[in-house]
Amino acid sequence: MASPALTIISFLLTLTLVFALGKAEDGFVKAMDRKLLGLKNQKLSHFRFYWHDIYSGKNPSAMAIVRPPKNTSKNGFGFISMIDNALTEGPELSSKLLGKAQGFYGLASQTDGALVMAMNFHIIQGKYNGSTLTILGRNQVSDKVREMPVIGGSGLFRFANGYAHASTYSFDTSTGDAVVQYNVYALHY
End-to-end CA separation in angstroms for the chain: 47
Q: How far is CA 130 from the centre of its chain?
A: 13
Distances (CA, A) of 92 to 86, 152, 170: 11, 28, 11
Question: Which whole number is the average pLDDT over 137-146?
Answer: 97
Question: Which whole number is the average pLDDT over 20-42?
Answer: 71
What tens digit of pLDDT does each residue of 90-127 get?
999 999 999 999 999 999 999 988 999 999 999 999 99
Report how far residue 133's alpha carbon sits from residue 157's, in angstroms, rounded to the nearest whole number.
Answer: 6
User: In a 10 Å sphere around its CB, with 0-12 CB exposed, 13-18 middle and 19+ buried, how is residue 84 labelled?
Assistant: middle
Which neighbouring-strand residues pair with 154?
A: 132
Query: Where do the structural domains in the chain lie, given as residue ranges?
Result: 34-188
Q: Per residue, what are the HEC states of the chain?
A: CCCHHHHHHHHHHHHHHHHHHCCEECCCEECCCHHHHCCCCCEEEEEEEEEEECCCCCCCCEEEEECCCCCCCCCCCCCEEEEEEEEECCCCCCCCEEEEEEEEEEECCCCCCEEEEEEEEEECCHHHCCCEEEEEEEEECCCCCEEEEEEEEEHHHCCCEEEEEEEEEEECCCCCCEEEEEEEEEEEC
Exposure on the CB side of residue 82, measured as CA atoms within 13 A: 3
Question: Which whole number is the average pLDDT over 126-131?
Answer: 97
What tens digit of pLDDT does each residue of 66-99 get?
998 886 777 889 999 999 999 999 999 999 999 9
pLDDT of residue 132: 98
pLDDT of residue 6: 58
In CATH, the number for domain 34-188 is 2.40.480.10
pLDDT of residue 5: 64
Residue 133 near residue 186 (C-beta atoms within 8 A): yes
Exposure on the CB side of residue 181, measured as CA atoms within 13 A: 13
